[in-house]
Structure 1
Amino acid sequence: MAVVSTDVTTPDTAPPVRRGPWRVLSLVLAGFVALSGVRFFTGEATLTASGTVSAALLLAVPIAMAALGGLWAERAGVINIGLEGMMIFGTWFGAAGAYFTGNPWVGLLTGILGGVFGGALHALATVTFGVDHIVSGVAINILALGSMRYLAISFFETEPGGGAATSPPLPGFPRITVPGLSELFVSIESRGWLIVSDLAGVLAGLTTQVSVVTVLAVLLISLSFYILWRTPFGLRLRSVGENPSAAESLGVKVYTFKYAALLVSGGLAGLGGVFLAMVASSAYQEGQTGGRGYIGLAAMIFGNWRPGGLAMGAGLFGYTDALQLRGTGTGVHALLLLVTLGLLLATVWQTVRGRYALAGVLLVAAVLVALWYINTDSLPRQFVTYTPHITTLLVLSLASQRLRPPAAVGVQWRRGQAT
């Protein structure tokens, strides 16, 4: 009998090359070089200034925490529209814990527990009682807004410096500055060199007066990737979001993993709320979240339900928000040149792929944006103010059509149910 060898690797059976991280790194590097060129050409220093980077980091962290919370929930098959409410829980409970004990770390713990409470409510409604995920999330947002208003009146209004919609001043967290490096980067940044000074500005922003909570948030993004994609626990949790019936047939406790995911989701959103109240600000204020829970969901979708992608989405929103806060409209105006360049590159790419109609549309858009840049010196204040929100809409509408959410996300699954 002839023995047929199965060791030969053919092109059809060869393992796929993992290009994802390198592709993302290449895109980030290309974007940075283009941004540096725009800064050098226009002389708009705020584009890569260390102050802009610091502000962007400050604005991106709460969005990233909300997005990471959404990632944990949706990877387990539960849509978490209630992230906004869980962040609100985090802002008030974090402020209360820090103020009444005088210890910011107690505030961090109580804020996270406040978010966990919101996650537990969402899990009870959606997992145990089978309530529609969207309905439950909206209800949590409404509950959080009203109940935190009541608690603020009850506990903060009579305190010195407090009120019905704000807390007294809160203790802050330690901040980290890398001695020697920070000054060196600032010195190089001031030279205005192409790419080198821009890189120094970014590094100066990342090494000067960085809150320890920011460092914790970055570590949590990496830790979430490791847990969800490198551990048996993460594999089981993701299987619950893909096919809960199949997971149950293999002995996975579906309800337990959904509960765990939502508790972690709420805790991460609560951490984002603590950041808003005690790092980005020095007091709790009503309406402090400003829709960041919803923006976090958008960043999660932009990131294709992956930690690295959602971090990029949060960073993009934080950067555009920082530009409009630090500039008078000229910084955002300079970005029109960057948009023109991006559209031209997209035109070339679509032409190479044979999509001539789409390439024509992109070329027309590039010409219109270029004319807008040439014929104006700045942008209207109203447009600049809403630049982050416009960016979010554009990113979501132009994102790759290869986005794939977990297969069973949003499904109201019951034990013993066949898929």
Structure 2
Amino acid sequence: MRNWTLKTGASLLALAVFAYGAGAMAGEKKARPAVRPASEAVLTGTPSSYGASGAQGVYMGEAKAPDVRNPDVKTDVKKGDCPKGAIAGDHPDLPAYVVKDARPNQCYTRLMKAPVLETYAEKVLVEPERVETRTLPEEWRWAERKVMVQPERVERKVIPAVTRKVYEERVVQEASWREETVPPVYEKRMESVMVRPARQEWVRSEGIATGAALVTPGEHRPVRYRADGMLSWPGKEPVVIQSDAETTEYLQKGSAQTVWCLKEVPAEYRRMERMVEVEPASVRRVKVPARVEKVERLIIEREEEVVEKVIPATYRTEKYKEITAPARTEKYTVPAVYKTVDKTRAVKAPEPVWREVLCERNTTPAKVKEIQIALTKRGYDPGPVDGTLGTKTVAAMQKFQADQGLPQGQISVEAAEALGVKIR
């Protein structure tokens, strides 16, 4: 009876200790603040489909460390994560300099660089110029000139050359060495061979549409692309600009451009049998003598000579009428009258440019919150200051980019640092 009581008490004590420990762990878990990890996505809202309402793809990627414990085991890489092709090769969408300089977890997309405008003074015609004419008679005088009676000529006499024949030996083929190759010796060995080297590939994702591919500084009015291929720049006096093919494509697709990010893929190995060279091939040299032959050669004792004699030309003198000034009509121009008018024109057309932009791989909610606070202080409305990279935040940053003369569209690293937020 006593033993049963002791066992029952020990069991109850163990249950109490376990319940206390579980309660403490639950309390600690409940008291811990919920912090979103840096790798958690910060983009909210579903981007528009490619080309349908202005949203284009954002290209990003991730860096994974290779498994160095066993080179024979392949790392699991999902098919279709990235476009085919290594970083050293060509890429279907990215320019060569972006592919060359990109580092893992960087995201790239096209932004629109605004046109450069200038105000200039233009003269407007008030009264056209007029022309008055008058005719002047021909003027002449008597003059003398020499007329050739017989041209200059040259008489030539050829003195033939003096030659003789000699015979001499000539080397047809120089002495040389012939090499005989002794083949190498091989043996079989089992080795771990790399079947696919480590490489870097690109991942694509969609950007966020702002509603306008390009806006004006200050008033932030959207720039329109017309059906005739011209670009209408709004203002007090609208400016019409001829856009190139790349600018037209950018404006038709909208402000949210495709973003690319670089991804590292580890090397793949497998065990295989290889033939290894044990003794290298050797070479034995054999001398080949020179081959000569007799040839006939013509020696010139004295070169052929040509003797020339020049007979000068003969002339006679005659008089003729020399026209000093032909009959002509003179025109007198009364200049036109103009007035000066101020106009605006584009010095440089807008163009799409590639820049590094923010995405879930290179930023955190805390950095997005810093950007939203900085935009609010500058007088731009980014929406709620909640650390979420949404449409209102991207649109507010686009207005800041327009006012600062920076390329517009997605939030570039360049624009964030111009706002005072350090990304790296």
Q: Normalized against structure 2, the TM-score is what?
A: 0.21
- Hey, which of these two has a bigger chunk of helix by percent? 1
Higher relative contact order (CA 8 A, sep 6+): 2
- Hey, which of these two has a bigger chunk of strand by percent? 2
Find the structure with the greater CA-based Rg: 2
